[in-house]
Structure 1
Amino acid sequence: MKEKKKKHKSMLKWFIASIFLIFMVRAFFFSNYVVEGHSMNPTLEQGNFLMVNKMVYAFSKPERFDIVVFSHPEEKFNYVKRVIGLPGDQLEYIKDQLYVNGEPVLEPFIASDQLKVFGGNFTGDFSLEELTGKEKVPKGHVFVIGDNRLNSLDSRHFGYVSMEDIVGKVHVRYWPFDEINTTFK
């Protein structure tokens, strides 16, 4: 009987320790985010639930086309957008073609039928210098744009995003269940 009680106490301790560990990992490494708005359509839609890895950029830097959640220093809520420009990049869009440092770069997440529907000027022509007065993305910053270019408040409007303001990288869309996804490129 004593041995059975010891076993139950031991299992209870392990259970409590496991729950504590799960909450700690959740608090420090991951965050949930609910998509609000249509700026990332069709990749992410309003009401999608996302899991954001908060620690990924503690050990690495954002990569082009990562989807990130960040807090805007002047706003009281978070945004979710796609990283288009990295520090040192010179960016330009001409006729819906992205050029990075003078070289054309494909954006596989923008479907060709989206471009056709909107008449070939889905993103709008611009250069960084025209928008921001700077020729290149500054050190410690990224340039972000929503996938729904015609309906996105992003770096074209509010400028660069400091890497310090990035909450984390979107790793999983877990709601709705039939649209679970871990690949967003």
Structure 2
Amino acid sequence: MASKSEGGIGETLRTLFWALVIAGVFRTLFFQPFWIPSGSMKDTLLIGDFLFVNKMAYGYSRYSCPFAGPDFSPCPVEGRIFASEPERGDVVVFRHPTKNVDFIKRLIGLPGDKIQMVRGILHINGTPVKLQDGGQFVETYEPQGPQGGRPRCANEPVGEGADCIKPRQIETLPNGVSHDILNIINGGRADDTPVFTVPEGHYFFMGDNRDNSEDSRFPQSIGGVGFVPAEYLVGRADRVMFSSAGKSLFYFWTWRSDRFFKAVE
């Protein structure tokens, strides 16, 4: 006859087992956690933002599996099941086609679109997007996040602890979605591009921090993203759950309470 202590331990282990199973199913099928490691999506997303990616938004592919190795053998899904089309302006997490890491950018170009940057202005199918002045984005020039990188500033040179300023504009896409974009320099390497025609079954992504983002404006051969196949989409970023400006989430004095549960727009 088992003792009460043995029965208690057994019950605890069973509870823990089923809790892990439920958590695994939840993460695999519904939501996946994601930390923002870089400043490519400022000021929409900041370094240290923590969010859950809605994996139900676009259906599932083998790249949606959080436990897959380099060959994705645990997730032998071909193509995408329960698929639905993303919308222009969505903030999307996707698997980089060659680096096998997750990226987060804004969806700009749909299949068949012609995308071009002309003197720093986004053109979609030959028409420039609507832009409005959005004031300035100001942050402190200091190490940011676990990697300790410092931000790029339009008002360089900037001393430690001083204001790092970037001009901000509000960009409105053809479907009416509006979002902030930042500009650091004029005449950068991505301010004037050839026309990119998005292939069928692919998407074109850009970062909101336009002069500090490796995205579809750059080919994969030089570290960019290029066109992203539909099956590489992981999910949509809907809401920031938590945010910390420090090297660790345990540095409570660096928490950004104004960003808790903030909608991603």
TM-score (norm 1): 0.75
- List alignment gaps of at least 5 residues for structure 1: 1-14, 130-135
| 2:118 counterpart of 1:38 | no
Name the counterpart of 2:87: 63
Worse overlay, 157-166 or 57-66: 57-66
Q: Which amino acid aligns with 2:216?
A: S
- Matched position secondary structure for 1:68: strand
- C-alpha separation in 2, matches of 1:119 and 1:104: 17
CA distance in 2, matches of 1:184, 1:122: 28
Q: Which residue of 2 aligns with 1:144?
A: 205
Of 222, 228, 240 in structure 2, the residue corresponding to residue 161 of structure 1 is 228
How many angstroms apart in 2 are the aligned matches of 1:141 and 1:75?
17
1:23-172 aligned at under 5 Å gives the runs 24-58=25-59, 59-106=83-130, 107=171, 108-111=178-181, 114-115=182-183, 118-119=185-186, 124-129=191-196, 136-157=197-218, 158=220, 159-172=226-239
- 1:11-67 superposed Cα distances (whole Å, 9 cap, x missing partner): xxxx99x96666533331111100111111111111110110112112421111111
For residues 181 and 103 of structure 1, do their structure 2 counterparts lie closer, same or farther at Cα, with a shift above 3 Å needed? farther
User: Structure 1: which amino acid aligns with 2:258?
Assistant: D
Counterpart CA distance in 1 for 2:94 and 2:53 is 10
Identity %: 38
Higher helix share: 1
8 Å Cα contact 1:96-1:122 kept in structure 2: no
Shift of 1:72: 1.0
Q: What letter matches 2:230 in structure 1?
A: M
Partner AA of 1:109 in structure 2: H
**1:117-168 per-position Cα deviation (integer Å, ceiling 9, x unaligned):** 6347695011334xxxxxx201111111111111111111231011111111
Q: Which residue identity does 1:118 align to in structure 2? A: I
Q: Alpha carbons of 1:25 and 1:147: their partners in 2 closer, same or farther (altered >3 Å)?
A: same
Deviation at 1:110, TM superposition (A): 3.0
**Could you tell me whether the CA contact under 8 Å between 2:34 and 2:51 is conserved in 1?**
yes
- For residue 105 of structure 1, report the CA deviation from its aligned partner: 2.1
Deviation at 1:81, TM superposition (A): 0.6
AA aligned to 2:32 is S
TM-score by length of 2: 0.54
Give how far 1:182 is off. 5.3
Aligned partner of residue 37 in structure 2, secondary structure: coil
